[in-house]
Structure 1
């Protein structure tokens, strides 16, 4: 295979973005040959935008059966990511899904099993893994530069969303339409980076989600979570969509220092020796270990979505390792599922997560949601911005 022929399932905001990148010539070895969408307005946009250079279909099945594509990009609503992926694997497609991997871990685990059985390449659009800042953080943690991780704090509240945003679609911020709020919609990248950069998953979590805080919505838009790890480390994760101005500050403390990422800059406070070693030899009551403040130089801009598309293309054509394997989408999703479940049960949640219990609790909220998924026949009457939007 000299070129990887892509088809995009869902050409809303995200799908159209991928289409523009693939048709720009920026991705070596990739070509966009087809798109599909259930909304006529989206299909009309694709025909006007790309003319007869790209085939336009009403559904994924007909697009895949056309023989025009080798891989699909899934950019549909959250609940449909696993369903579309499983159907594509069954027909021999390579699959790249948008984030989140799905809404609940049990559903995503089934997708991962289908991917493994297919033998095809499976990726997820965790484009922030391409960001040099987070790549450097991961490298420094895994190399032992900051010693053993002891504490992680992330305040990520620069997601400001107005009531007008939530009112722009009846499906928005509903259990039936999106399956969650800030955790499932805005924060999947952060939840992924939390575990990817540190290489650690918590063993238990206690979370406090506030639903519709300062906004008229069903789902969570303000969250504070506390996590504990097997090595004794702890983490606090805070997020909101109503803080103005918001903050994005990630702090990772270890036995050899502390790294802070804020305002697109990384600062490393490096101890000259392990904290435990200093403590063992010190005899002065108010002494502290010598510390150097180091500004880590920038490695340049992040290639973002184009970087993920190029990496996925290279993985299929050249066997290049994936930066964001699709199977890893379940990890960040498990963190958000655990936060929901902890709040719903008003108590601690152990990890590995009780996925069946989470699904059962989620289904209770879906059943009473103001938004109920329309039938296929009625789908065209729903807002045309449903696919792949934030």
Structure 2
């Protein structure tokens, strides 16, 4: 194979965006050959914009089994990601899904098992993994420059949403249609980066989610979570869609230094001697180890983002190169989101591995009471 025939299912904002750069030939080795959406008017408009030779389908099963595509980019509503991916694998297709991987880990685990049973390339659109700041921070940690991680703090509140945003679609901010709020819609990239950069998952989480805080919605739009790790490290994650001006600050402290990502900049301070060693040898009550800020050089810009993940996926299909964002890893950030909701619903700690059956049962209760169902 020297070219990958790609189809897109779901032509909303994200799907249409992917269709534009693919139809322009901006991904080497890829050609857009088919699009699919249940909205005929939207389907005809996007297919027309893509030019001749792009087939249009309003039925997902017919699209996946058409033989016109080698790989599919899934950009549909959250709940449908796993079932469509599983059907695509059964049709012998490579799969790239938009975030989040799904709404609940039990469903995503089934998708991962289906992927493992094939030899197809499975990716997820975690485009923030292309950002030079986050890539460099991960590298610093992997190389031991910060030492053992002791604390992670992320305040991410710079995606303000007024009521009009939630009123713009009946599926928005409902348990039945979207499956959650800020943790499911805005924060999946940060939840992924949190565990990807740290290189480890917490052992338990205690969270406090506010549902419909200062907004007429069902789902969580403000979250404060505290997590603990096996090595004694802790983390705090704070997010909100009803706060402005917002903040986006990630701080990681290790026993050899500290790194901060904020306002498009990565800063790194390193201790002259590790904190444990200094603690053992200090002879003064108020002494502290010396430190110095080490300049960090980054590639310009914020990475290739969405088109970069698509290029990486196509390259993996054609050459067998490793993926930057394997689809199987989507379950990790989703586990953090599910744990935060479960902790709030049960008013207690959510232990990891997650009680997936309990989460699923409580989610079903929310879905049955959802306004989207009653409507």
Q: TM-score, normalised by structure 1?
A: 0.94
SS at the partner of 1:371? helix
- Number of the residue aligned with 1:327: 328
Matched, 1:11 2:14: no
Give me the whole-angstrom Cα distance separating, in 1, the residues matched to 2:281 and 2:52.
Answer: 75
1:1-390 mapped onto 2 (5 Å cutoff): 1-301=1-301, 302-372=303-373
Give me the whole-angstrom Cα distance separating, in 2, the residues matched to 1:227 and 1:373.
Answer: 36
Question: Would the aligned equivalents of 1:177 and 1:373 in 2 still touch at CA under 8 Å?
Answer: no
Change (3 A) 1:20 1:116: same
Give me the whole-angstrom Cα distance separating, in 1, the residues matched to 2:198 and 2:47.
Answer: 44
Residue 136 of structure 1, CA deviation: 0.4
Question: Would the aligned equivalents of 2:105 and 2:335 in 1 still touch at CA under 8 Å?
Answer: yes
Residue 373 of structure 1, CA deviation: 9.6
What does the per-residue CA deviation read over 1:128-182, in whole Å, with 9 as the maximum and x for residues that have no partner? 0111111101111011010000000000000100000001111110101101000
Residue 228 of structure 1, CA deviation: 0.1
- Where does structure 2 lack aligned partners over 5 or more consecutive residues? none
Give me the whole-angstrom Cα distance separating, in 1, the residues matched to 2:308 and 2:175.
Answer: 32
How large is the RMSD of aligned CA atoms in angstroms? Answer: 1.0
How many residues of Structure 1 are paired with residues of Structure 2 in the alignment? 374
SS at the partner of 2:51? helix
SS at the partner of 1:357? helix
What does the per-residue CA deviation read over 1:182-210, in whole Å, with 9 as the maximum and x for residues that have no partner? 00000000000000011010000100000
Change (3 A) 1:82 1:373: farther
Residue 264 of structure 1, CA deviation: 0.8
Give me the whole-angstrom Cα distance separating, in 2, the residues matched to 1:304 and 1:155.
Answer: 22
SS at the partner of 2:137? helix
Residue 324 of structure 1, CA deviation: 0.4
SS at the partner of 2:183? helix
Question: Would the aligned equivalents of 2:19 and 2:50 in 1 still touch at CA under 8 Å?
Answer: no
Residue 293 of structure 1, CA deviation: 1.6
SS at the partner of 1:183? coil
Give me the whole-angstrom Cα distance separating, in 1, the residues matched to 2:84 and 2:61.
Answer: 9
- Where does structure 1 lack aligned partners over 5 or more consecutive residues? 375-390
Residue 25 of structure 1, CA deviation: 1.8
What does the per-residue CA deviation read over 1:205-245, in whole Å, with 9 as the maximum and x for residues that have no partner? 10000001111100000000000000000000000001100
Give me the whole-angstrom Cα distance separating, in 1, the residues matched to 2:55 and 2:270.
Answer: 55
